[in-house]
Chain A
Amino acid sequence: MPSLSVNIGGMILKNPVMTASGTFGYGEEYAEFIDLNRLGAVVVKGLSLKPKEGNPVPRIVETASGMLNAIGLQNIGVDRFILEKMPFLRRFDTKVICNFFGDSVDEYVHAADVLSRTDGVHALEMNVSCPNKQAGWCVFGTDPAVLHNVVTAVRKVCRIPLIVKLSPNVTSIAHMAKVAEGSGADAVSLINTITGMAIDIRSRRPLLANKIGGLSGPAIKPVAVRMVWEVFNAVKIPIVGMGGIMTAADALEFLIAGARGIAVGTANFVNPAATVEIVEALEQFLVDEQVNDVNELVGSLRL
C-alpha cells in the first residue's frame, strides 16, 4: 500500500484530500453521505468573531462549467461554532481546520486567538480575500503591506499551524505567497474564487444581488494549476491547491504542479462523495504507477 500521508506546516494528514471552506458547511451537512474519517482534513465554512448575515439573494448563479457565488461570508460566529459544531467534529479521526476572516486586523487576531486555543482545532486557514474596514474596504490579500501586517499580527497569537489562503485576484500571486511566508505562515492555500460577473440580457441586470461574485468549479482549474506552479517556484512552505478539482486526475495535476495537499470545493455540491472517491482513486493511481509515497509526486513536474 502506498503512503498517502502528508505534512502541511507541521500537521500530519492521513491523506492530502481536504474540503474547501464554504463548500462543506461545518462537516455535519455531509456526514450522512460520507465517512468524514476518510478525509485528510475538514476545512469549515469561514468564521468571524461575530455572526455574519451575508448577502441578499440571488447569491449563486451557474456559468459555463462553473458557478459564481456571493454568499457574503454568512456564518454563525466563532462562539456558536465552538459550542455547537466542535463537539460533533471532535468525534472524528480527521484534522479540523478552521477558516476565518475579519474586517479589521483586531478582529483577525481575536478570532485566531480564540480558535487556536480551542480543543480539537488542528490548524487555522486565514481567508484574506475580504475587505478591510480600516483601509477603505480594500481587500487584505491584494496589498502586500496590508497582507504582511495582518499575517504577522495573527502569527503572534496563533499557537497551531497557520495556513494563509491567497486570493487569485492579484497581479502576482507568487509575490503574495512570499509575503505570507515572510510574515510567518506555515503554509499557503490557493486559489480562492476569481471575481466574476453574469448579466441577464433581457432585464440588463446582474444575476447576483451583490452584482459581482466569486467563480469556482472546473472553469477555474487551469488558472489555479498555473498559480500553484508559480507559487511552488517562489516559496518553501507547503501549498494546499484547489480550484475546480472534480476528480483524482484533477487533484494529481495540482500535486505535480507543487501542491502537497488539495481541497475539493464545488465538486461536493455535484457529488457529495467526491472527496472520498478522490482519496480512493488517488491511492489506485499510486499503485498503478508504482509510486510508494504521494510526496514523490509533489512538484514533480517535468520540464
Chain B
Amino acid sequence: MLTVQPLQPATFPVPGQFYMLQAGASYDPLLKRPFSYLSAENGSITFLYRIRGKGTRAIAALREKETISLIGPLGNAYPVPSGEFIAVAGGIGIASLFSLFGAATGRATLFWGGRTAGELLMTETVRGLVRTAVITTDDGSAGRKSLVTEPFREYLAVNAHLPVYVCGSTPMMKAVAALCSDAGARCFVSLEAYMACGVGACLGCVVKIRDSENHEGRFRSVCKDGPVFDASTVVWEGQ
C-alpha cells in the first residue's frame, strides 16, 4: 500500500482511472508504471500494489516522506451502476474495483479469486463495502478451491440482468466476457497493458476494439480510450 500527497493541487480521480508512478529519478527503471488508485480523500491518494519487477520494487523501497513522481488521473471511468451489480476481481485487480465499491457501497456481489490467500489483500475492508463477497483460490487456502469463474457462472445464470464489472488477468477477463456474452449480460472490463506514456501519445498499449463501422476492430489505446471498455467490443487476441 502506498499513500501519496500531491505537492500541487490535483484533479480528483473517478473509479476506473489510474496514475503512472515512478519512485526515484533513475534511468533504470526508466518508464513510469500504471496503477489504479484505491481511494482518494483529504487530498491524498492511496494505491495498492503487488511487487512484480524493478518498478514496483523501487516503489516498495520508498520510505516515509520521500517523494514519488506521478502523472494522473488518467484514462476513462467505470460507468457507475445505478443499482445492484456484479464484480469479478482477479488478485490485485481488486485495486481498480475498490473505488467503485466506495462509490456504490453495499451494491456489489463480488467474486474474487487468487492463486493463494496471500494474493487477496484487505479482505475485511472489501467485505465491508460490498453486499456479498465470494472468495476462491487455486490452492484452497482461502474460500472455495476453484477458479473465480465457477461461482460467478452459477450466479450469473440467475442474475444476467445485472451489469458485470471485471478487473484481473487477461485470460480471466476473456472468460468472464464470454460468459456474459452467452448470458446476455452487460460487461465492463478494465484492461491490462504495457504502457510507456499513459496519455495516448506512444500507441504502445493498444487493444482492438470493434465499433459499428468496423467489426474487425481498430486499435485503441488502453491508457486514453480505456482502461475500461464494454467487453462486447473487445477483440481478444492471443492467450
Contact = CB atoms under 8 A, between A and B. Distances in A.
B219 interface: yes
Nearest to A60: B204
A101 to B, nearest CB: 15
A66 B28 CA distance: 8
Contacts of A60: 194-196, 202, 204-205
Given A25-B201, A269-B197, A271-B69, A67 B206 contact: no
B29 interface: yes
A29 B203 contact: no
A246 B199 CA distance: 18
Interface string B25-44: 00111111000000000000
Contact of B206 (A30, A65, A74): A74
Q: At the interface, is chain A mostly helix, strand, loop or mixed?
A: loop
Interface size range on A against B: 20 to 34
A69 B201 contact: no
A59 B203 contact: yes
Interface size range on B against A: 20 to 34
A30 B28 contact: no
Contact of A272 (B194, B199, B203, B237): B199
B193 interface: yes
Given A54-B219, A74-B219, A272-B71, A62 B30 contact: yes
A30 B30 CA distance: 19
B22 interface: yes
Interface string A85-121: 0000000000000000000000000000000000000
Contacts of A2: none
Interface of B: 22, 27-32, 69, 71, 193-207, 218-219, 224, 237
15 contacts: A25-B200, A25-B201, A30-B201, A54-B206, A57-B193, A60-B202, A60-B204, A62-B29, A65-B30, A66-B30, A67-B30, A71-B202, A217-B27, A266-B30, A270-B31
